[in-house]
Structure 1
Amino acid sequence: MIDLYTWATPNGRKVSILLEELGVLYTAHPTNVLPGNPKPSWFLEIAPNGKIPAIVDGDLALTETGAIMIYLADKFGGFLSQETHQRAKTIEWLMWQMSALGPMQGQAFQHTVAHPGKAVAAEKWILAEVNRLYCVLDAQLSDRDYIAEDYSIADIACWTWVARSDWARIDLADYPNIQSWFSRIHNREAVKRGYDVPHKAHVIVS
Structure 2
Amino acid sequence: MMTLYTANTPNGQKITIAMEELELMHELRLLDLNAGEQHQPDYVAMSPNHKIPLLVDDGQAIFESGAILVHLADQAGRLLPKEGAARSAVLQWLFLQMASVGPMLGQLWWFRHAAGAGPRNEQALERYGREVRRLYGVFELRLAASACLAGSDYSIADIATYPWLASHHELGLDMAEFPAVAAWLARIAARPATVRGMARAKGE
Name the SS for the 1:112 alignment partner.
helix
Q: Distance in 1 between matches of 2:81 and 2:201?
A: 28
After TM superposition, the structure 1 = structure 2 runs for residues 13-92 of structure 1, keeping only pairs within 5 Å, are 13-33=13-33, 37-38=36-37, 39-92=39-92
Name the SS for the 1:148 alignment partner.
coil
- Structure 1, gaps ≥5 residues long: 202-206
Does the aligned pair in 1 maintain the 2:5–2:30 contact within 8 Å?
yes
Does the aligned pair in 1 maintain the 2:30–2:203 contact within 8 Å?
no
Task: Give the TM-score of the pair, scaled to structure 2.
Answer: 0.93
Post-superposition offset of 1:67:
0.4
Structure 2 residue 171 is the aligned partner of structure 1 residue 168: yes
Q: Distance in 2 between matches of 1:170 and 1:78?
A: 33
Deviations 1:19-63 (A, max 9, x none): 1000011111001235x7251111112211110000111121100
Q: Distance in 1 between matches of 2:57 and 2:162?
A: 25
Does the aligned pair in 2 maintain the 1:101–1:133 contact within 8 Å?
yes
Deviations 1:155-179 (A, max 9, x none): 0011010121123211222201001
Match of 1:204 in 2: none
Does the aligned pair in 2 maintain the 1:108–1:167 contact within 8 Å?
no
Task: Give the TM-score of the pair, scaled to structure 1.
Answer: 0.93
Identity percentage over the alignment?
A: 35
Match of 1:148 in 2: 150
Deviations 1:58-103 (A, max 9, x none): 1211000110000110011110012410110110000000111110
Name the SS for the 2:61 alignment partner.
strand
Match of 1:10 in 2: 10
Q: Distance in 2 between matches of 1:3 and 1:171?
A: 38
Q: Distance in 1 between matches of 2:46 and 2:199?
A: 23
Structure 2 residue 123 is the aligned partner of structure 1 residue 121: yes
Does the aligned pair in 2 maintain the 1:105–1:167 contact within 8 Å?
no
Q: Distance in 1 between matches of 2:83 and 2:59?
A: 29
Does the aligned pair in 1 maintain the 2:105–2:132 contact within 8 Å?
yes
Match of 2:138 in 1: 136
Q: Distance in 2 between matches of 1:169 and 1:33?
A: 25
Deviations 1:93-138 (A, max 9, x none): 0000011111000000111111274311111111011000000000
- Structure 2, gaps ≥5 residues long: none
